[in-house]
Amino acid sequence: MTLKILVLPGDGIGKEVTAEAVKVLKTVVEGVVDLDLRHGMIGGDAIDTVGDALPQETVDLARECDAILLGGTGVKEDEKRAPSEGAGHGLLRLRKALELYANLRPVKLYPELVGASTLRPEVVEGVDMVILRELNGDLYFGEPRGIFKDETGARYGINTMRYSESEIERIARAGFELARKRRGKLCSVDKANVLETMTLWRQVVIEVSADYPDVELSHLFIDAASMALIRDPKQFDVIVTGNVFGDIISDAAAMLAGSIGMLPSASLADGDFGLYEPVHGTAPDIAGQNLANPLAAILSVAMMLRHSFKMEAQASRIEAAIQSVLAQGYRTADMQQDGCTVLGTREMGDVVVDAVRHLSQDIKTPAETV
């Protein structure tokens, strides 16, 4: 078997963390499957080279592959560009073009990182949830949009919060299915008390729930959900929400896991195809300094192996390797703790590679002696 993967390092620290993720990927599949890694351009480099944040060639390459591993998109110059011309927009267009509508953002606190969170240990210990963010609709894509001038010449801006019934239904189903595989609890987050789009959201989620009597459904408004997430995060199993609210609360939830540098994500279409990327951005301020935490990118590889390639053993091996390097006291600068050894991006990649190798040996030995 050959895994056909499109690697899109993108901008800033995206390049650095992707290099480490690829190193770990190569190690964990060694002797099991072959890799056919294709490389493409997206974001700032693509703008500089071909004048487009998402070249058609990249979309074509993606369609030939079974999965995408992405670093991040966004550059400093974006501040001076219209949102639709920025590097980050390349990623938004790719999500839309490939109909990657279900964005899974697991938030799990490794016990070793309890002290790295800004919240009290008893609040965060044992946090284990998934934020399921809709990725193809909402204010991100609704029309009309733009900056216009009224009759007096004063400017005004418009974005449109738009969701169709079918878009809500498919993400709701994904949420119920996911909750069913976990602890059976789904919390739908909306703003149904103010926004019609969100009133429809709630109605459709309730309609879909009829097919999932075994899943316990609850609803929260986004403001109350933000508070609950910080006050008592352990109550959550799966949270399903729209594109904008999901963008915001997943960054907030990152602090529950100690650092945003620990959060992987999967953006899935129907079927097995997916795009896997760390939740963090491109951090231009620390780019190129070997400071970034590569663990979110490495954990994204685990999500890829599990979901797109059904390679559960290899996925768990990566997660166990990360657990083991954290237990050995290795950290990157974003999650410094007393008594720990702070490593650079490449060195963190190296210790994970070593841990994967050790775990592979441990697993092989009993089988070989039988």
What is the CA 164 to chain-centroid distance, rounded?
24
Which amino acid is it at 58? T
Q: Which residue is nearest to Mg ion (CB)?
A: 247
Sign of the CA dihedral 288, 291, 296, 299? positive
The nearest distance, CB 88 to Mg ion, in angstroms, is: 9
Active site residue 330: no
Question: Which residues lie closer than 8 Å to 191 by C-beta, 6 or more apart?
Answer: 198, 221, 222, 223, 245
Q: Which of 36, 60, 211, 223 is catalytic?
A: 223
Active site residue 140: yes
Contact between 138 and Mg ion by CB under 5 A: the answer reads no
Q: Which of 45, 78, 247, 334 is catalytic?
A: 247
Q: Which residue is nearest to ligand IPM (CB)?
A: 88
> Which partner, ligand IPM, Mg ion, none, binds residue 238 by CB below 5 to 8 Å per kind?
none
Q: Which of 138, 191, 276, 330 is catalytic?
A: 191
x/- site string to Mg ion, residues 194 to 213, per CB under 5 A? Answer: --------------------
Site size with Mg ion, rule: CB under 5 A: 1
Interacting residue ranges for ligand IPM, rule: CB under 6 A: 73-74, 88, 91-92, 247, 281
Active site residue 214: no
> Which partner, ligand IPM, Mg ion, none, binds residue 92 by CB below 5 to 8 Å per kind?
ligand IPM
CA angle 88–343–22, rounded 5-degree value: 50
Secondary structure element (H or E) that encloses residue 5, with its range: strand 2-10
> Which partner, ligand IPM, Mg ion, none, binds residue 132 by CB below 5 to 8 Å per kind?
none
3-state SS class at 103 = strand
x/- site string to Mg ion, residues 214 to 253, per CB under 5 A? Answer: ---------------------------------x------
> Which partner, Mg ion, ligand IPM, none, binds residue 91 by CB below 5 to 8 Å per kind?
ligand IPM
Q: Which residues pair with 39 in a beta bridge?
A: 7
Secondary structure letter of residue 340 according to DSSP:
P
Q: Which is nearer to Mg ion, 134 or 247 (CB)?
A: 247
Residue pair 240/175 in contact (Cβ under 8 Å)? The answer is: yes
What is the CA 43 to chain-centroid distance, rounded?
17
CA angle 157–91–284, rounded 5-degree value: 90
Q: 């909750």: which residue's tokens?
A: 179
- The set of catalytic residues is 140, 191, 223, 247, 251
Binding site for Mg ion (CB under 5 A): 247
